[in-house]
Every structure is written in C-alpha cells, then in structure tokens.
Amino acid sequence: MSNYDKVLIRFGDLMLKGKNQRIFREKAIALLKKNVIDLNVKLEKRHDRLFLVINDVEESIIKERLMRVSGVGSFSFVVTTEPNYETMALKAIELIKKEVKKPTTFKVETKRTDKSLNETSQEITQILARSVLKETSDLLTVDVRNPELTLYFEIRADEAFIYLDSIKGLGGFPVGAAGRGLLLLSGGIDSPVAGFLAMKQGIEIEAIHFESTPMTSIESAQKVLDLAKKMSLYAQRHEIKVHMVPFSKIHEEIINRISPSYVVTVMRRMMFRLAEMKAHKTKSLAIITGESVGQVASQTLESMVTIEAVTTLPILRPLITMDKLDIIDISKRIDTYDLSILPFEDCCTVYTPKNASTTPSVKKALINEKFMANVEGLLEEAINDIKTFVISPNHPVNLIEHGFTVKEAWEAMHDHIEGQ
Ligand code: ATP
Ligand code: MG
C-alpha cells in the first residue's frame, strides 16, 4: 500500500500565456492519460490543480509513467486530509514516520487559499511545525535555511494536502505541441537521444534510417527498429514511424566512384538529400540528427557546412555541444544505451575509409559527385522503395528470427494487416 492517495502534477508552462497555455495543457493532459490508461488510476481536476488518484497502484509504477510525459515539470505524492490543524499534524506525523528513515533537517511550508482562516500562513506553519516536532524530535531538527526535507501543507476550504519534496519531471513541452521533425536514426548512441530530446521539447518525430543490407547485417536494421520501440514510449500515441531507405546501391556507387577522403562527406550529403525529399512528403518542418561537434571527421564545423549545403530545411542538432558522457547518461535513462552499444556495423562504419577529410569543401564534394552515375535516378528509386514501419512498445517486428529481409518483413506485415 502506498503512503499516499494522490499525485499532484505540475506542468512547466509558467512561461506560456493565454491560448498557448490552454493548448499546452490539453495536449499534456491527453499525453498523461495515454500513459496511465492501463492503470487503475483517475485524473482529477480540482481547484486549479491536476491530481492523479492512485488507488492501489504502486508508487514506482506511477513514477515511471509520469517520467515519460513531456511537459510535466514536477510532481508530488500527496496525502489528502480534512483541513483542520490537528488532523493535518497527525497525518503528517504518520507520513514522516513511514518515509523518513534517518535523522534529517527539515522545515514546514504552508500555502493557504482559504482566506477565511484567522491565522496567517506563517502562524499556521508554526502551529503545525510545533505539533509535528513534538512527535518526531528523534528524527527531525528544524533548519529553515537549508533543510534536507520540506514538509508542505496546502490548505483549501474543503481539504488539505500534505507532501514532502517534489520529483522533477521531464519538463519541456508535450510532444506534438511543436510540429513535426524527421529524425535521422542510426544504430548509435546519439541519434536516439537526439530524438528523445526533440520529443521532450514538443516535436513529434518520424524516423528515417538508411540501411545498407545486405552489405550490412540484418541485425543492424533490427537494432534501429528496436531503438524506435524504446523511443516510442515518449511519442504522442506511443508510435514512431520508421522509414527504412534501401541505401546499398547508393552506398556501393559512392564507394566505387568517390575518392576515399570524400566518401563519408558524399554519403552524408546523399542521406541529407533523401531526408529532405522524405521530409517534404511527410510534412516535416526540420531534419534532426545526433551530431555533436568534433566527435568524428564528419562532425567538424567545416564538414557540417559542406554536408548541409544540399538542403534548405533547418537541421536541428540537439546534442551539438553536449559532452559524450552526458549523452550516455541520457541514453541510459531512456534505456537505449544497451541496444546502441551492440556491435553491429551500419553503413557509416562498414567499408568507409579511415582517412576521411575533416575539412571537406562543397566545391570538391560536387566534383566528386560528378563521377557517380545517375544520382537523381538512384535517389528517386531509393525514395520510392522506402518501407515504413509503425513501431510501438509492443511491436513484434523480428527480422532476425524469421530470416526476413527488411522488404520481406514489411510485406509480411502488410499482408497481415490487409488480411485482417
Ligand atoms: P550516432 O551515435 O547517432 O550513430 P555518431 O556519433 O555515430 O552518431 P555518425 O555516424 O557520423 O555519428 O552520424 C551522425 C548522425 O547522422 C547520426 O546521429 C544520425 O542522426 C545520422 N546518421 C548516421 N548514419 C545514419 C543512418 N544509417 N541512417 C540514418 N541516420 C544516420
Ligand atoms: Mg553512428
């Protein structure tokens, strides 16, 4: 049994005004509902606050679910009680005895919206703190400046809430509140984190992956679908579309025709061209990548300039100045790390020369690309052969177990859907 009966949920929308705030709240509430729909809980709007009545559901489960909802600034597990001081103090003592395991410094904070009370907030704080301390002096000592624990009382006309510290949520904006972007999703550590950060800031994502099977292993394609599955928990409808682009022909043409130091540059220019074509078709307003400055040859500023010269869409790089260790921390938090470090080669690691230029120019890239035959035709063909998978948390796509190619898996799923 939980020590609490509700969770008080706060959105981080303090900066928004008027209509934006309303839209934000509606989206955030819809997202919240989506994430708790299978639990025995109930959303309750009381006064100007949003609560989740948690019945008998375990705190850890509630916490895990709320930590997936972008737009939630913070939340607190609360005990609801009658708004009289004696009962409030009793409940608070009970709560502290259950929750506080070792001697701790604390303070009391009181908020009251019931203006009919005779005492000021400060006087109420003193009354309550005194009653609580009488019974808990073995555990608590007062430190109003820098307490380890704060005990909050919020008093309304018809009820009061008691809670200890609040838990920080994802913050940001509800996913879907800020338009759509196309995420270049590879099997590495970075791009899933970039996708997550974009969603956290309100951007709905679709993913595009350039897969070079059979030059690369089918496991590398499966890995991308598995990563999308992890990320789908943060998506608006718990679904992420993954557009699988057959890239092996272009890949081969690049390896055969482009001078080794420009292979990576040209490969990435082709990816960005294809991404832009797909972005227009999917009404995506921006391209999102997991690039971080200086990590590899293709991620020097010079390289980025030369690569992105092929597009006009904005390129969002949420990780651009982040430290690798911080990126890894996030990937562990969203549970993509263990998948990302599986050692399957993707198109950027297989057959790519090691002496990539760190200062490629647009001029030289264009000269190199002239050696490729029928670039437009190859790009067009790749776009037309995209296989789109809609990935959700319980998605069954398993390319490896069934010995499928990407195309076969997609066809099998399509028959299945059409046959239903
Ligand atoms: P990651 O860990 O995301 O793979 P990385 O540090 O390995 O990144 P690169 O391999 O140079 O860096 O790729 C940079 C970015 O380009 C990736 O973060 C991703 O957004 C995109 N990208 C690379 N390869 C692919 C691919 N095969 N399909 C789709 N996007 C890709
Ligand atoms: Mg990579």
**320 Cα to the center of ligand 2, angstroms:** 14
Q: How far apart are CA 343 and CA 106, in angstroms?
A: 49
Band the pLDDT of 348: cuts 50, 70, 90: low
**Percent of the chain scoring above 90 in pLDDT:** 78
Residue 210 Cβ contacting ligand 1 at under 6 Å: yes
What per-residue confidence (pLDDT) applies to 397?
85
Residue 327 Cβ contacting ligand 1 at under 6 Å: no
What residues flank ion ligand 2 with Cβ within 5 A?
186, 188
Domain 180-419 has CATH 3.90.180.10: no
Domain ranges of the chain: 6-168, 180-419
Of 71, 237, 75, 76, the residue nearest 170 (C-alpha): 71
**295 Cα to the center of ligand 1, angstroms:** 11
What per-residue confidence (pLDDT) applies to 97?
93
What per-residue confidence (pLDDT) applies to 419?
41
Strand 160-163 and strand 6-11: the pairing is unpaired
For 62-73, write each residue's pLDDT tens digit: 999 999 999 999
Q: How far apart are CA 274 and CA 277, in angstroms?
A: 5
Of all protein residues, whose CA lies closest to atom 11 belonging to ligand 1?
Answer: 298
Q: What is the pTM of this model?
A: 0.92
Band the pLDDT of 418: cuts 50, 70, 90: very low
Q: How far apart are CA 137 and CA 126, in angstroms?
A: 15
Main-chain dihedrals φ then ψ at residue 225, nearest 5 degrees? -65, -40
Whether 409 and 401 have beta carbons less than 8 Å apart is answered as no
Q: Mean of the pLDDT values across residues 286-315? A: 92
What per-residue confidence (pLDDT) applies to 184?
98
Question: Tokens 């776009």 map to which residue?
Answer: 383
Give domain 6-168's CATH architecture: 2-Layer Sandwich (3.30)
Tell me: pLDDT of 334 over 60: yes
- 130-139: long-range pairs with CB below 8 Å, 24+: 131/85, 131/86, 131/89, 131/93, 132/89, 132/92, 132/93, 132/96, 132/108, 135/93, 136/93, 136/96, 136/97, 136/100, 138/103, 139/96, 139/97, 139/100, 139/102, 139/103, 139/104
Residue 62 Cβ contacting ligand 1 at under 6 Å: no
Pocket test for ligand 1, best of 183, 184, 292 (most atoms within 8 A of CB): 184
Tell me: pLDDT of 354 over 90: no
**392 Cα to the center of ligand 2, angstroms:** 23
- Structure token digits, residue 407: 């195309």
- Structure token digits, residue 299: 């991620």
Band the pLDDT of 49: cuts 50, 70, 90: confident
For 241-268, write each residue's pLDDT tens digit: 999 999 999 999 999 999 999 999 999 9
Residue 248 Cβ contacting ligand 1 at under 6 Å: no
Crossing angle (nearest 10°) for helices 362-369 and 301-308: 50
